[in-house]
Structure 1
Amino acid sequence: MATSLFEKKLKQQIQERLSPATPGVQVQVFQMGKKVCDIELGETFPYYDLASLTKIIFTVQAFMKAFEEKRWDLNSRVQDFCPWFPYENVLIKDCLTHSSGLPWWAPLYQKLDLTTSSLNRWVEGGRIIRGMEVMRSEASVYSDIGFIVLGHVLEAMYSLPLLENWSRLKDDFYSRSTLNFHPENKPPYPIKQYAPTERCSWRNKILQGEVHDDNSWSFGGVAPQAGLFGSVDDVSWYGLLLRSQLRGISKTSIRQKTAQLFSSRARPRGKGDWALGYMMPTPGTASAGSYFSLYSIGHTGFTGTSLWYDPSQDLLVTILSNRVFLGRENKEFASLRPQIHNWVVEGLKRKA
């Protein structure tokens, strides 16, 4: 397909800032459901570690589905499904909005016996979380631990292991995609097809086709907070599915009313920019740049991934990269990503 003037300009803008930020990047843009941009720069790969995009592609969609099935409501407590969880006032929606008071992260992988089965490690991770202190505050504090708890809740809701929950969700929502976890950290395709993330000091290798997230890897590569791999087409497919749910034209079981509930602001302004599991733009520092409306929803991934959808502009932007290959402390990509979104919006205005 011929490259449009819009794509050529965007490639030029990104290229000038690419090398210090990431080895390569893929960008897709959809306006009113139609693809208007599909570009890649630098060294790119068919499949990427999607990192925390797992939260919205898997976990949030799974809880939307369970909500439709009336398995839980906004007053449901974690303890209703996981009696072992010691804090009776923590709600499921608190974990989705990162307002549970659970720690933002903990090195669970350092406390697990990696010689035991992945199932044993997942169960032991829950036991470790059971001993953590909940420290409530007025403001949301991003918490991977809260999403790990949601994984245990999901298993209890359906009496199914996490991977089986994913398999059923994929059959219903993503059957035509290559989205997948890599159980036991074993990729289904040759590793050269996966973007390498980082040379890991404790795993003693460059991670390629194995999840970068330490805790997810220690659980055997299947987790509610990270672990999915996929292509840029896969992630955009998810974004278009989300769009269809919000517009009431989805063929899935998710009603427009439910999709809109989950995508609406769930925290007071100034206390956290969160819908039910989705990020919302924080004015001045949004990873979606300056032009995406405050009604936008999306998420970022630590490895250098993101998806944002603005229902006001009917605009979807998917970005995949392996920015952590240049070192997890490299902050260049964090400034490039919002700029890409700005260039997209500015370019579309010129195009119009």
Structure 2
Amino acid sequence: MCESRPLNSQSMVATLTSTPPSFLPLWRRKLPTYNPTQCLGTGKEALEISSNGYIKTNTIGFPEKGISTRPRTSSTPRPPRPRRIILVRHGESEGNVDETVYTRVPDPKIDLTEKGKAEAEECGWRIREMIEKDGANDWKVYFYVSPYKRTLETLRHLGLAFERSRISGMREEPRIREQDFGNFQDREKMRLDKALRLRYGRFFYRFPNGESAADVYDRITGFRETLKADIDIGRFQPPGEQSPNVNLIIVSHGLALRVFLMRWYKWTVQQFEGLNNMGNGNLIVMQKGYGGRYFFSPKWTHTHTRISASNGDLLFKNPQIQLIYASQ
């Protein structure tokens, strides 16, 4: 049985207000065997460390190749935005030609067909031709790609059109993956689910054990915020450069790209439900225009609608409009 002792209020206050060094929270301690510079980067890639051993908070950038860590001031100009944001749908996959593949192969592991590989390579050369018509010598491309096998294979064949010196970077981005239809898919049940989706609404219908387009919208929103931040800090810029001739290429899936456009241009649910996927291996070009805003490049995007050149807003002639994208 514990011995009862009288409480001393002064000693209690002293005990509570004095924190032993060993109990300091990790973020306030200086660990002698831990070097944050080595963990976060080396040389020019390292974040700046203050004299007390903490990471400076007035730096910009991330510990990746070519990201500046100079202090941001009100007079620091923002890096130029990419000249284009190019959206590419993966080439023809085995699931596009045979729906029974989904019953035995996980969706993320479905391959491209030989036709799909050729579509991807042709798409790469179309992109290069478009970029070279700018007449700039310092152009670069940067890739975001879905982690699904068919998008990674699309990037591999699309990338054959570019020398390594033209590629400023690549990032695998899970948030731009395909809509989740619910693990292995029963063919007849999927047909029923898709019929129910038309009755319920293409945007809000959630597949059993899967996602709705609204769910995809939520993760695409997070990706868009990351993308805007990456643009603002110049993540796509070649090391030590401030080039306006960087082209951002996003390799993804039909529905994910439609949702990306919906989120970027603030389209309504009704407008989204009037859109269909572009073809396999096709692309949409968002060209930088006045004020740094992006609009559809008319040479590469054909629609049954009029498109505002300033902000890409769709002016619908009817609610059941279908976008048709150029494959040239």
| Fold match by TM threshold 0.5 | no
- Tell me the TM-score normalised to structure 1 length: 0.28
- Tell me the TM-score normalised to structure 2 length: 0.29
Higher relative contact order by CA 8 Å / sep ≥ 6: 1 or 2?
1
